[in-house]
Structure 1
Amino acid sequence: MDTMRGKMEEELKKLDEKIADAEENLGESEVREAHLAKSLFYIRIGDKEKALEQLKVTETKTVAVGQKMDLVFHTLQLGFSYMDFNLISKSIEKAKSLFEEGGDWERNNRLKVYEGLFCMSTRNFEKAANLFLDSVSTFTSYEILPYDTFIFYTVVTSIVSLDRVSLKQKVVDAPEILAVIGKIPYLSELLNSLYECQYKLFFSAFAGLTEHIKMDQYLQPHFRYYMREVRTVVYSQFLESYKSVTVEAMAEAFGVTVEFIDLELSCLIAAGKLHCKIDKVAGVLETNQPDAKNALYQATIKQGDLLLNRIQNLSRAIEV
C-alpha cells in the first residue's frame, strides 16, 4: 500500500508540474489537456470526490460543447462505477441540455446507451429497450461496456417490453443482433423459443441464463423482479391462445409439474399480472383477457364524474 501511495503521489506531482508549465508557457488548449489528464488519473485510481472536483475545474477551461459532453461522459462512468443514481441522473440531463446547445449526433448516440443503462438499472425496462434498440446500429460506447454485453442487455430488456410483432421486427430478425447473439450462452435459445412458442425449450434456456443475470452488475439487484416479469410475459403469451385450458396441459407445455404452475399462476393472478382464474376443482384455467376499449370507456366515465363533482363544489363555493 505504501509503495502504491508513493507512486500515486509521484504521478500527481508530475501532473501538477505539467499543469503549472502549461499555464506559464503554453496555450489554453494545453492547459485544458493537463487538467483533463489529472481528472482521468483520479478516475483511474477511484478517488470519486477529487475526480469530480477536477472535472469541474477542467470544465471551466473548456469552451467547445463536444468537449464538455465528453467530460459529462467521464462523470457518468464514475457514477456507474459507484452506482450513484443521483449523479447519473443529473449528468444525463446536463448532457441532453449540452446537445441542445450544439452537440453532435455521435455523442448523442453514445448518450442513449448511458441513459438506457440508467433506465435498466432503475427497472424502467421499456425505455431502456427502446434506447438500446435505437443504438444497435450506431453503438460506439465501448468505454462503458463491450458490444456483446450491450446486445445481451438489448435482448433481455426487449423480451419484457415489446409485443410479439415488434420483437420479431426489431430483435429476432435484426442483423446486428443475429451477428452477436450466438456468442452469449442460452440467449438465442431464450429469444427464439419465446417467439416460436416452444415453452419447454424456453424454460430450459431461461434456467441457464439466470446465472448470467445473477452475476451482472446492473441486473443483479433486480434479479427476482426481472425473473417474475419474464415469467409473466411467457404465461400471458401462452394463455392468449385459449379461452380455457387445463392446468395439466399448461404444465405439460412448460415441462414442469402441475403444483409448480398452480403456485406460480396463483401468485401472479393475485398480483394482477395475469388475467385469468383457476378452477381448482375442475383443474381448469379460465382466461378473461381485458378489453382495452371497455377499460378506456370506464376510465373516461370515472374521470368525467370526478370533473363534474369538482365543478359542482366550485359552483357552491362561488355562490357562498
Structure 2
Amino acid sequence: MPIENMEEQGLEKNPNLELPQIKFLLSMREYQNNKELAAKLLEAIEAENMAPFYEIVCKDLGWAVDNNLLQKMKTNNAEKLAQLDAAIEDAEQNLGEMEVRESNLRKAEFLCRIGDKDSALSAFRKTYDKTVSLGHRLDIVFHNIRIGLFYIDHDLITKNIEKAKSLIEEGGDWDRRNRLKVYQGLYSIAIRDFKAAATYFLDTVSTFTSYELMDYTTFVRYTVYIAMIALPRNELRDKVCLVSL
C-alpha cells in the first residue's frame, strides 16, 4: 500500500470518470428511475457547465432537455472560452513559448472538463505540438486516454496507449511507467481481458498514484476481484492472499 494518500498531489480528475459510470447505471432498468443517481449526475453537470455532455446524457437516457439550463451553461462556456482565447492571443504576442503552451493547455483542459470531446482533442493536439518535455507530452497522452475511457472510444484509447508506450521507451520516468500500467489494466477490464488486467494491477498495487482514475480503495477492490477471476489458486494465494494489499 502507498505509504500515504497522495491523492491531492495527483493529476486532476478531468474528465471525471465517475460520471459515465453513473450514466451507465441510469441506462439500466433497475436504476433508470433512481432519483438520487439522476440528481448526482445533474449536479455534477451543472457544477462544471457541461453543456455538450448534458446533451449527450439527455439523448442517451431519454431525458427532457431543460433549455434554460442548457442555454445558461452554453453562455457561461462561451464567456470562459473568450477569456481563454484572449489569454492565448496575449501569450502569442507578448510572452514566451512556455506561456503559449500553458495557455493552450488551459483551454484544452477546460474543453475536456465541460465534455466537448472533439474540441478538447483538437486543443490537446495543438498543445502537444507546442510541448517539448517528454513528461509533459506523456501527460497529454494520458489525458487523451482518459477522454477515451470517458466516452468508451476504443480507437482513441488504444492509439494513445501505444503512443504512451513509445514515449516511455524514449525515457519515461518511474511514475509515468507505473501510471501507464494502471491505465492499461483499467482498459483491459473494459475489454474483459482479465488476465492482463490482473497482471497490470498487481504490478502497481504498491506504487499506485493514478488517483485521477479512481481512489486507492477502489483500485485494491478491483485488483482483488480481477485476480479472483483470472488467476489460478496457487497464484491467487501467493500474489493476493499472502500479500498485504
Normalization by structure 1: what TM-score?
A: 0.54
Higher relative contact order (CA 8 A, sep 6+): 2
CA apart distance, 1:23? 0.8
> Deviation string for 1:119-168 (max 9, x for gaps)?
11111100100000001011000001111111111111111211222111
Q: Secondary structure at the match of 1:160?
A: helix
Match of 1:158 in 2: 227
2:90 is the counterpart of 1:21:
yes
Match of 1:44 in 2: 113
Match of 1:105 in 2: 174
2:164 is the counterpart of 1:132:
no
Question: Which residues in structure 2 correspond to 1:54-93 (within 5 Å)?
Answer: 54-93=123-162
Count of aligned pairs between the two proteins: 176
RMSD of aligned C-alpha atoms?
0.8
CA apart distance, 1:3? 1.5
CA apart distance, 1:173? 2.2
Q: Which runs of 5 or more structure 2 residues have no equivalent in the other structure? A: 1-69
> Deviation string for 1:208-253 (max 9, x for gaps)?
xxxxxxxxxxxxxxxxxxxxxxxxxxxxxxxxxxxxxxxxxxxxxx
Q: Secondary structure at the match of 2:205?
A: helix
Question: Which residues in structure 2 correspond to 1:1-320 (within 5 Å)?
Answer: 1-175=70-244, 177=245
> Deviation string for 1:55-92 (max 9, x for gaps)?
00001100111100000111011101001111101110
Q: Matched residues in 1 for 2:233 and 2:141: separation?
A: 37
Aligned letter for 1:37? R
Q: Which runs of 4+ in 1 moved over 6 A?
A: none
Q: Matched residues in 2 for 1:116 and 1:13: separation?
A: 38
Q: Matched residues in 2 for 1:172 and 1:17: separation?
A: 56
Q: Which runs of 5 or more structure 1 residues have no equivalent in the other structure? A: 178-320
Q: Matched residues in 2 for 1:165 and 1:38: separation?
A: 50
Match of 2:64 in 1: none
